[in-house]
Amino acid sequence: MEADMKREDCLKQELSRILGEYESLRDVMMNHGLAALGDSFVNFVYSLTLSIRYGEPRGGKVTGRILSESLARADLRRYLPSRVNRHFRADAAEALMVYAWIKGAFSIRKAVEELSAHEDLCEGFAELLARAKECLEKPS
Amino acid sequence: MEADMKREDCLKQELSRILGEYESLRDVMMNHGLAALGDSFVNFVYSLTLSIRYGEPRGGKVTGRILSESLARADLRRYLPSRVNRHFRADAAEALMVYAWIKGAFSIRKAVEELSAHEDLCEGFAELLARAKECLEKPS
């Protein structure tokens, strides 16, 4: 069990080394590669949440509308250029969430717990985004 | 750190409770809900592998052709009805992989390591599927 924990930790360390240090939240949110990785992270966490909520295995994809709205509720839109479209804002949310996971702001379990705790999916994602922001803005 | 490990473990326990005990590998492989959950698991693990391989965050989706071929290489096609199409075989591979992850056959880190160890993606997935089969066939 302890070896298992170390392995997971080791994966995040390797990813963290690859990512290096971004200069700002905006840099993280505008990274296309992170958005692509984040897309798979967000859909996995969401599918786990659906499975637990309905008591049977399920899969699902989070819409751009939900992610974009969550970004606004977490007061994170102001970090992006003013005229970006919904698709771009959804990408920013995905990038930030997977970056925060890699940097240890929350575990997959914690993310599932947070989404499960809210009837409104937007609220759940907004909470995760707020936690990501808080964690990443702390001086390391 | 230990608390983190316990949380991840607790997530798998909750999922495992939901799934209960399937009667056979075939039951697992033909479960549509597991295939949907497995789709998100496989794409997440694959995206992590790509990110580590290329030294920058990336995302990707595994094709049905790759998954179907991996199932054949792991000698698992014989558990399915004979006339199923490629899409169905890919679903079976996804279902089996996420089921094996939930049941503790391998961690996300281990899955990424296995995929990273093979130039040929099919070989990597075939190894994971073989490990899944081996683990799930053991009497518990």
* Fold (topology level) of A2-137: Ribonuclease iii, N-terminal Endonuclease Domain; Chain A (1.10.1520)
Question: What is the 3-class SS of chain B, one letter each residue?
Answer: CHHHHHHHHHHHHHHHHHHCCCCCHHHHHCCHHHHHHHHHHHHHHHHHHHHHHHCCCCCCCCCHHHHHHHHHHCCCHHHCCCCCCHHHHHHHHHHHHHHHHHCCCCCHHHHHHHHHCCCCHHHHHHHHHHHHHHHHHCCC
Q: Does B109 contact A57 at a Cβ distance shorter than 8 Å? A: no
CA distance A92 to chain B (A): 14
pLDDT tens across A60-102, in order?
999 999 999 999 999 999 999 999 999 999 999 999 999 999 9
> In sequence order, which residues have a C-beta less than 8 Å from that of residue A94 and are 6 or more positions away?
A34, A35, A38, A39, A41, A42, A67
Nearest-CB residue to A51 (from B37, B109, B112):
B37
Contact A57 B7 (CB under 8 A): no
CA of A84 to nearest chain B CA: how many angstroms apart? 22
Q: Is the pTM of this model over 0.80?
A: yes
- Chain A interface mutation, best of B2, B10, B11, B61, highest count of A Cβ atoms under 10 Å: B11
pLDDT at A112 over 80: yes
Q: What is the largest CA-CA distance in chain A?
A: 48
Nearest chain A alpha carbon to B50: A37
Q: Is the pLDDT of residue B1 over 50?
A: no
Confidence bin at B3 (pLDDT 50/70/90): low
Q: So what's the pLDDT on residue B20? A: 84
Query: Considering only the top CATH level, what class is B24-137?
Result: mainly alpha
Q: CA-nearest residue of chain B to A41? A: B44
> CB-CB: which of A40, A48, A51 is closest to B47?
A40
Within 10 angstroms of residue A92's Cβ, the number of other Cβ atoms is: 28
Average model confidence (pLDDT) across chain B? 92
For B58, the closest of A37, A59, A107 (CB atoms) is A37
